[in-house]
Amino acid sequence: MGFKLLSDEELIQQFELISPNVMLRAARLQLLARIVAKNVHIILSAINFIVCNCSSSCGWVAAIECDLKWLELGGKYHFSSILNSIEQIKGDPKKFQTHIRAYAASRFANLDVPKALPQYSSSVNFSSFHCTVCSKVFHTKQKLALHNFKVHNIKDPIRLYINTVHCPICMLYFHTRERLLNHVKFRSSVCKTNILLGGAILSEAQADSIDVQLQAENRALQVAGHRRHFAKDPVFRLPGPIANIVCPKPSAHHPLGIGRNYHY
């Protein structure tokens, strides 16, 4: 009774908070300022090369270009290009960094940019994945995989390496093939590498027939309003000896323990 629901934007405005998008923008610009201040040649020449040779509207440089436009709205700077901004930052990097901090904390900088002004609404994601067939760009591996399947009918070959619902490398039990495939494809490079080293165990026809068998299950999930990888039951680790594993990126951590690289 008497409570008023506030949207994220209203909360940010009312309590003068910094929105996550602005934090990312400010952090990216601060990094640029540090690169310029320390005169990191290799990165500066890479930026120069990308600006002069790539027309693609993705990647870190494209995100920085959007961030600079956003910073221009603060009224203190005007950048004709990213290379021009580097020249201006060189003049006084400290002043540039102070301005980013002050502007990011202002209410105006945290106003949600309407979709009608795409030139100011930079993508938070700047990593990019290219389709090798039609060279379309996607922000996540998952979106690229979906595109490959829907448009080009290409399925991930990892489906030929798995015939269980538990990961044979880390012994995690996923209950469904879809969840295990996601674990191997997107979550654990250690498991993926070791499964690939084991070689394919299914033929295309066998993998297709498993897909057909699972159609009814997937349809039922869809009807219930869930995605295919819906986690009805929690994952648990099966007992048993873990086979010797090859670690693609050796580090001080256990390759299957907390702190391993989940993303690549």
Q: Which residues of 139-177 are buried (b: 16+ CB within 10 A; e: fewer)?
A: eeeeebbebbeeeeeeeeebbbbbeeebbbbbbbbbebb
Q: Which stretch binds Zn ion (CB under 5 A): 50-58, 63-71, 170-178, 195-203?
A: 170-178
Q: Is 170 in the site for Zn ion (CB under 5 A)?
A: yes
Report how far residue 5's alpha carbon sits from residue 215's, in angstroms, rounded to the nearest whole number: 41
Q: How far is the CB of 250 from Zn ion (least distance, A)?
A: 18
Q: How far is the CB of 136 from Zn ion (least distance, A)?
A: 5
Nearer to Zn ion, 93 or 168 (CB): 168
User: How many other C-beta atoms are found inside a 10 Å radius of the C-beta of residue 195?
Assistant: 19
Report how far residue 70's alpha carbon sits from residue 85's, in angstroms, rounded to the nearest whole number: 13
Nearer to Zn ion, 89 or 184 (CB): 184
Q: Which stretch binds Zn ion (CB under 5 A): 4-12, 85-93, 119-127, 189-197?
A: 189-197
Q: How far is the CB of 221 from Zn ion (least distance, A)?
A: 22
Residues 106-165 that bind Zn ion (CB under 5 A): 131, 133-134, 136
Local structure of residue 145 (DSSP, 8 states): H
Q: How far is the CB of 183 from Zn ion (least distance, A)?
A: 6
Nearer to Zn ion, 47 or 190 (CB): 190
Residue from 62, 169, 180, 181 binding Zn ion (CB under 5 A): 169
Report how far residue 20's alpha carbon sits from residue 147's, in angstroms, rounded to the nearest whole number: 28
DSSP letter for each residue of 180-215: HHHIIIII-HHHHHHHHHH---S-HHHHHHHHHHHH
Residues in contact with Zn ion by CB under 5 A are 131, 133-134, 136, 167, 169-170, 188, 191
